[in-house]
Amino acid sequence: MRFPVGLLVTLGLVMAASACAPGGGDGPAARPSATPATTPSSSATPPPPGQPPPPGVDELTVVVDDGTGTTTTWTLTCDPPGGDHPDPTAACEALKSHHTALKPIPKDRVCAQVYGGPEKATITGRWRGEDVFSVLSRTDSCQTARWDALVGLLPTGGE
């Protein structure tokens, strides 16, 4: 039996996307890579890997790849701002002002193919009672706009 190439490509993309979706798949594509991370020192201790925060507690884990393969991992809580993020107050303000930037770009949105830099970030956890799994980059104008909206939570990029 032969399948059209377009159907096979579409099926492959759907399967890959579902593996990356929250709760979709148990493989490495479903969570940030386990590359060595530099973690700023702080008195706050993040929960053990794979442990979700208690119900009703908003806590995010932010993993930033600076584009060279060096990653930095922070935790963040808000109300009151805390965690080991270097500026939890600015991070919480960025989230409160631009929380929609955590959502993926709609598939029908047209984005200019303007490269903004090699940085990538993965944000996981809970925010305002909802599970978060957000992957950000600076690969086109839409992705760069999402990143720039969350500066404070994320470092400025493209430098």
**What is the set of domains in the chain, with CATH numbers?**
1-30 (no CATH), 32-149 (3.30.350)
Q: Can you tell me whether residue 157 is helix, strand or coil?
A: coil
Helix/strand/coil for 43: coil
Describe the crossing of helices 88-98 and 141-149 by its angle, rounded to 10 degrees. 130
CB-CB contact of 59 with 47 (8 Å): yes
Cα-based distances in Å from 25 to 17, 18, 42, 156: 10, 7, 33, 31
pLDDT digits (tens, 9 = 90+) for 131-159: 999 999 999 999 999 999 999 999 987 65
Q: How far is CA 141 from CA 63, 82, 157, in A?
A: 21, 31, 13
pLDDT at residue 75 greater than cutoff 80: yes
CB contact at 8 A, 84 and 91: no
Structure token digits, residue 13 = 């993309």
List, for residues 10-47, the tens digit of each pLDDT value: 444 434 344 344 444 433 333 333 343 433 333 334 45
Q: 146, 101 in Cβ contact below 8 A?
A: yes
- At residue 7 the predicted structure's pLDDT band, cuts being 50, 70 and 90, is very low
- Long-range CB contacts (within 8 A, 24+) of 71-78: 71/32, 71/33, 71/35, 71/36, 71/37, 71/38, 72/37, 72/38, 72/39, 72/40, 73/37, 73/38, 73/39, 73/46, 74/39, 74/40, 75/44, 75/46, 75/47, 76/153
The structure's pTM equals 0.63
Q: What pLDDT does residue 72 have? A: 95
Q: Average model confidence (pLDDT) for the chain?
A: 74
Q: Which residues pair with 121 in a beta bridge?
A: 64, 136
